[in-house]
Amino acid sequence: MTTLSTELNVAEADMKVSRLEAAGFHPSITNTDAAAWMGCASTLGGLLLQVPDEEAEEAKEFLDGIVTLEKPLE
């Protein structure tokens, strides 16, 4: 597994996981149980957003890309 990012915020990590899953990647977050038990992800080095090694380069490019909408929100 390759770590794409380290998040201190569970919501931010979950958002990135959702984006990756919707694009067909297979992400996971580590340190969630320990962070919940300790009450703070930062004390454990954060929540690690990871994907399989063979998906890492493409997933990183996907997350770094600009999100565009086909049609404007109303």
pLDDT of residue 72: 64
Domain regions of the chain by residue span:
2-52
pLDDT of residue 62: 93
pLDDT of residue 74: 59
pLDDT of residue 36: 55
> What secondary structure does DSSP assign to 11-36, as a single string?
HHHHHHHHHHHHTT---EEESHHHHH
pLDDT of residue 55: 97
Side-chain-facing half-sphere of 40: CA atoms under 13 Å: 2
pLDDT tens track for 15-63: 999 999 999 999 999 876 655 555 555 546 788 999 999 999 999 999 9
